Structures are given as structure tokens and as C-alpha cells.
């Protein structure tokens, strides 16, 4: 009897369907790809996490905390977050503004004069909104006196000094140091149990050291003073919990949620008004924004020398990725890692002046 054509067709489809491998999940791809990226970029240790639909869906730990000891990175390993400190502090400031403790548009000088700026009257126009959108005109870091690069509110220039000034105002208004204030406003409510703006002894059993350009391990740093711009210590999982809250708008009212996702200023010329040209990049209150394209996103980078970090999140869909690396070369893989995790080409690292490990310019 000749074969039934319909049966043959059905069998063929079944065989083809059964033989086709299922596409890898994002976390499976990252678990395979991250070690490859680390090896090629010379990164000793890294921790990463994914967010989807407002929750942490995956964490991964790779490599070692120190090349000297060989101790492995775990999901509980504490890293320096560097400038990923800033979005957390912005979240605190917005919550205070919602309760009327802080007016985003009142000059900070009216709350607390800054003696490092007394010689420059125009600094008295600086507001919290300008600090959070990097439009103060202040330098990133300065000396005993601070000079402005432009009139406050007229252009973009990345500044850690602005955040430190706003920190002093917030601490004065609340009567609380930043470490305790952040614990009450962010870390406690969001379940960030291994995060702080200062060193805590409980971090000591599983914390990483940085590695310089030669791959040499440094000593364990224990910041004793909180710095809103740079001193955050955290894990990838904890920071992902914060990212999930931001993407969902948890803990913030409608106005603050809009301020987080709405451009305040174009930042296309780079963090320090350099030669970069990325017209899609702008800044909101606390976050970089990648505008347009298929997936507008929030993002930020961190650089404490021998520690690097990157975070990106897409509010539409609540997806995001964050990673921390204990290497001066940690941002060399940011574009590749974000592409693998979120499926987007992100110009943020290039805008900030970091070359990819396989960049033909390097």
C-alpha cells in the first residue's frame, strides 16, 4: 500500500519540530556568554542580575573576589556600586519631595549655604532638580572652592559635587545621616539586605576587592562616610530589586514616576561636554535616558577606578539588567552584555568614553 501523503506530512512536521532546539533563555545565554566576555576583557569577578515584569528573575556570580585569594564571587558578594549610588539617592530625594520635606525647585542655598561656593553668587540658584539632572554647572569633583562651568540650569555637565551638596541639604532637613535615611526609605522597604552607603562588618565575609589595569588585586576598602554620588555597597540581586521598583514605579507617586522617565535636558555631547555625539541620550531626575528606538530605557554607569558597574532598564515591559565588576576594565563589556540581556544596542558606554574590548579603535 502506498504511504498516506497526509500521514507522511504530519510525521515530517513532528520530526522537524522535535529536532529543532528550543531557543536559549536570556539567563542561559548570559551564563554562557559572561565568562567569555570576562576572559577576553581580563575581568576577575562579576555579578549580574535580570529583572522582568517587576521582579528579579535571575542572578549570576562569576569568577573570583580576589585574584590573590581565589575566593569565588557568590550571589551575596558585595561590590562597590560607584555612581550607581546616584539613582538610589535620587529615589530618596523624590520620596522626600513628595512628602513636602524637600522642594525640588527651591534654591539649595535657602536650605543650607555651601561655604565652597560663597565666592560665586550664581551658585545660589542651584536647585535639587538641577542636581538630579546634572545641570548645576558644577564640576564632577573639585577642591576647596567650586567654580561653575555655566549658569545653573542652562546645560548638562555630569557632577558628583552636586549630589554631595544635595546630600548635605537632605541630611540637614531630616536630621538623619544618609546611611540611615536610605535604610528607611529604600533598603528596608525593598528588602535590600546587603546594601549600604557605608561599610558594615557583616559585609566582610563576602566582599570583593578591585583590580587595576595590570590585573593586580587591591585591598578591601571600607568607606566610613556616606557619599550620595559614589559610596554605595551592594549586590547585583539587591540592586536589581531597586531597579524592579523603579521600573514599576513602586514607592513613588505619579509625578515622581514621570520625572524619572522624562527628559530634563539633552546630554548628547557627553558627560563633560566632550566630543561624543549621541543625540538619543538625555537625563531625567537621577537617570540617564536612551530615547527613541524600539526600547527607550533608563540607564546609568559606575566607575570607582578598579570597580565598574552598569544598569539599564526598559519601563515598557519592566525588563532590566545590572552588573558589577571588580576590574578597571569592567565597562569594556557593557555594550555586549546589555545587548545579550535586553536585545538593544546601547550607546551609553561609548558616550561616557569607554571602549569595548573588541572595539576596532582600541
Domain count, the chain: 1
Whether residue 356 lies inside any domain: the answer is no
Whether residue 17 lies inside any domain: the answer is no
Quickly list H helices, the chain: 5-19, 26-41, 85-98, 108-111, 128-132, 160-174, 178-182, 188-190, 236-248, 254-261, 334-342, 348-351
Residue 99 buriedness (CB in 10 A; 0-12 / 13-18 / 19+): exposed
Least confident of 37-51, 134-148, 187-201, 265-279: 265-279
Distance CA 253, CA 169 (A): 22
- Looking at residues 141-153, what average pLDDT do you find? 95
Whether residue 9 lies inside any domain: the answer is no
**Bigger pLDDT: 276 or 52?**
52
Which pLDDT value is given to residue 270? 84
- Looking at residues 31-52, what average pLDDT do you find? 98
Segments forming the whole domain that contains residue 204: 26-351
Which pLDDT value is given to residue 294? 64
pLDDT 10s digits, 239-259 = 999 999 999 999 999 999 999
Whether residue 152 lies inside any domain: the answer is yes
Least confident of 152-161, 240-249, 295-304: 295-304
Predicted confidence (pLDDT) at residue 357 exceeds the cutoff of 80 = no
- Looking at residues 323-349, what average pLDDT do you find? 96
| Whole-number percent of the chain with pLDDT over 70 | 91
pTM > 0.85:
yes
Predicted confidence (pLDDT) at residue 171 exceeds the cutoff of 80 = yes
What pLDDT band is residue 5 in, cutting at 50, 70 and 90? very low
- Looking at residues 166-182, what average pLDDT do you find? 99
In order, the DSSP letters of 119-156 are: T-GGGGG-BHHHHHTT-S---SS--SS---SS-TTSS-
Predicted confidence (pLDDT) at residue 204 exceeds the cutoff of 90 = no
Q: CATH code at 66?
A: 3.40.710.10
Whether residue 10 lies inside any domain: the answer is no
Whether residue 8 lies inside any domain: the answer is no
Whether residue 2 lies inside any domain: the answer is no
- Looking at residues 115-130, what average pLDDT do you find? 96
| Whole-number percent of the chain with pLDDT over 90 | 85
305: left (phi over 0), alpha (psi -120 to 50) or beta: left
Whether residue 361 lies inside any domain: the answer is no
All 3 cell numbers of residue 185? 526609605
pLDDT 10s digits, 160-169 = 999 999 999 9
Distance CA 73, CA 323 (A): 13
Amino acid at each position: 500500500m502506498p504511504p498516506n501523503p497526509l500521514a507522511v506530512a504530519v510525521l515530517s512536521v513532528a520530526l522537524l519540530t522535535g529536532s529543532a532546539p528550543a531557543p536559549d533563555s536570556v539567563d542561559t545565554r548570559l551564563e554562557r556568554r559572561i565568562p567569555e566576555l570576562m576572559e577576553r576583557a581580563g575581568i576577575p569577578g562579576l555579578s549580574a542580575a535580570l529583572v522582568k515584569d517587576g521582579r528579579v528573575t535571575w542572578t549570576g556570580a562569576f569568577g573570583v573576589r580576589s585574584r590573590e585569594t581565589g575566593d569565588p564571587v557568590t550571589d551575596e558578594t558585595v561590590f562597590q556600586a560607584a555612581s550607581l549610588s546616584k539613582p538610589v539617592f535620587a529615589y530618596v530625594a523624590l520620596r522626600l519631595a513628595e512628602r513636602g520635606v524637600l522642594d525640588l525647585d527651591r534654591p539649595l542655598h535657602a536650605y543650607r549655604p555651601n561655604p565652597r561656593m560663597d565666592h560665586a553668587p550664581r551658585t545660589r540658584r542651584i536647585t535639587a532638580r538641577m542636581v538630579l539632572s546634572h545641570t548645576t554647572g558644577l564640576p564632577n569633583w573639585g577642591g576647596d572652592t567650586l567654580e561653575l562651568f555655566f549658569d545653573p540650569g542652562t546645560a548638562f555637565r555630569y557632577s558628583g559635587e552636586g549630589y554631595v551638596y544635595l546630600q548635605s541639604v537632605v541630611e540637614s532637613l531630616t536630621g538623619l545621616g544618609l546611611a540611615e535615611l536610605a535604610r528607611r526609605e529604600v533598603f528596608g522597604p525593598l528588602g535590600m539586605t546587603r546594601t549600604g552607603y557605608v561599610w558594615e562588618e557583616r559585609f566582610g565575609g563576602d566582599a570583593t576587592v578591585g583590580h587595576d589595569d595590570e590585573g593586580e588585586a587591591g585591598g578591601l576598602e571600607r568607606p566610613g562616610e556616606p557619599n550620595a554620588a559614589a559610596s554605595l555597597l551592594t549586590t547585583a540581586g539587591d540592586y536589581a530589586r531597586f531597579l524592579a521598583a523603579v521600573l514599576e514605579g513602586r514607592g513613588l507617586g505619579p509625578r515622581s514616576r514621570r520625572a524619572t522617565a522624562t527628559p530634563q535636558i539633552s546630554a548628547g555631547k557627553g558627560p563633560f561636554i566632550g566630543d561624543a555625539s549621541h543625540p538619543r541620550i538625555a537625563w531625567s531626575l537621577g537617570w540617564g535616558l536612551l530615547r527613541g528606538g524600539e526600547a527607550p530605557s533608563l540607564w546609568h554607569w559606575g566607575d570607582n577606578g578598579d570597580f565598574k558597574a552598569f544598569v539599564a532598564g526598559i519601563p515598557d515591559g519592566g525588563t532590566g539588567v545590572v552588573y558589577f565588576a571588580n576590574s578597571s576594565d569592567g565597562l569594556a563589556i557593557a555594550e555586549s552584555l546589555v545587548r545579550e540581556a535586553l536585545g538593544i544596542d546601547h550607546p551609553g558606554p561609548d558616550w561616557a568614553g569607554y571602549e569595548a574590548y573588541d572595539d576596532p579603535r582600541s
